[in-house]
Homo-oligomer: A and B are copies of this chain.
Amino acid sequence: MNTHTELELNGVSICDTFAEAFTTVGTRVIVTAMTESWVRTAAAEVSGYATSVIACDAEAGIERFLSPDESPDGRPGASLMFFAFSRSALEKAVANRVGQCILTCPSTACYSGYSDSNKEKNIALGNQLRFFGDGFQVSKKWDNRRLWRIPVMDGEFICEDQVGSFKGVAGGNLIICATDQKNGLLATEAAVSAMQKVEHTILPFPGGIVRSGSKVGSRYPKLKASTNDAYCPTIRAQTNSDLPLGTGCVYEIVIDGVSFDPVQQAMKAGLYTICQQPGILQVTAGNYGGKLGKHHFHLRDLID
């Protein structure tokens, strides 16, 4: 049994522990298209297969959709965020993803969603993709920014030369213990829809939720991580379970963000929403003892 439990919110026990998150490199890319429907198609494609940097080239997600009056070119758009271990890894992933999923996608254009006075932090995007133009590409000044006009079959792909990068936070998390799968999933879905309204954050997993929580290491030498058996309800009799009595299902929400504050704000919105839902027994968070990750989000601090 988990021994931290001292806190409570709306009758739900909150473990007095913390989520341990890591410093990472992130960027924000704005994609626009002729219609909202094409924005959604492009955004889903480019941010797909990007749940965890453990085995994907990046963690990615849709921060929010932009109405035409919010977007750089007066068309419907979406703000996307991408995170990786290093700026070079991020540059490689973003350029390849945009090249395969946005350059190819009807009517789209691509802009930087983050700028920084320090140009050394920039990621070359259009600057790499322009070569696809085979010499027919032309560059265009836009205030103090540079856009590339790359000829494609439906006209031109407009792509910004550089996109800014920032030191972000990856791995903020909440772990929700519920009576059963249906209560657990509905409560976690409710939390996700509250958290998605917090800007400067994304939830990289499918629909914002992870059900395959992992621990470091496994009994198979080659495997670096394996199922977090202490949180698996079906094997509680066979292992040293951390689950409160009556737990039939556990979900985790992982949050990446631009900095500590928005990640904390998203965790708070999620925690308060979860604790309003039926069938929730406990909320806790995942950490590695605090030695690996620089950012510690104490659940205690989320409760007013």
Contacts and interface: CB of A to CB of B under 8 A. Distances in A.
Contacts of A100: 49, 51-52, 55-56
A9 interface: no
A125 to B, nearest CB: 15
Interface string A73-108: 011100000000000000000001101110111110
B67 A197 contact: yes
Q: Is the interface of A mostly helix, strand, loop or mixed?
A: mixed
Contact of A193 (B76, B132, B228, B276): B76
Contact of A51 (B45, B67, B153): B45
29 contacts: A34-B186, A35-B189, A46-B48, A48-B48, A48-B101, A55-B96, A67-B190, A67-B196, A69-B194, A69-B276, A74-B273, A101-B206, A103-B212, A105-B205, A105-B207, A106-B206, A106-B251, A132-B214, A134-B229, A136-B229, A152-B212, A152-B213, A153-B210, A153-B233, A153-B249, A153-B252, A154-B250, A155-B248, A182-B186
